Amino acid sequence: MTALVKSIFPAFLLSWLVATFVGTQGSSGGLLQITELTVHDVRFHASMPLFLIGTGVSWGILKMME
């Protein structure tokens, strides 16, 4: 269970970086479904499928390291 909680930060970082680079070029990323979100006048790009894939991969890596 702790590996799953620990995997959230690397997945968020991966999702944020990739979505920012792809989203700023005006692309939706195809299957990544990159969307532009606005929270309190701050705009950023996010991708839920990429976050879930990143969580699964980092969870698997951390689980194997236990």
The encoded tokens of residue 65 equal 């390291």
What is the domain partition of the chain in residue ranges?
A: 2-65
Closest by alpha carbon to 48, among 9, 12, 7, 5?
12
**pTM for this model (two decimals):** 0.85
| 32-49: burial string, b at 16+ Cβ within 10 Å, e else | bebeeeeeeeeeebbbee
What pLDDT, on a 0 to 100 scale, did the predictor assign at position 29?
83
Alpha helix segments (H runs only) across 1-66: 2-6, 8-23, 48-65
Rounded to 5 degrees, what angle do the CA atoms 39, 56, 65 make? 125
What pLDDT, on a 0 to 100 scale, did the predictor assign at position 66?
85
pLDDT in tens, the chain (66 residues): 888 999 999 999 999 999 999 988 888 888 889 989 999 999 989 999 999 999 999 999 999 998
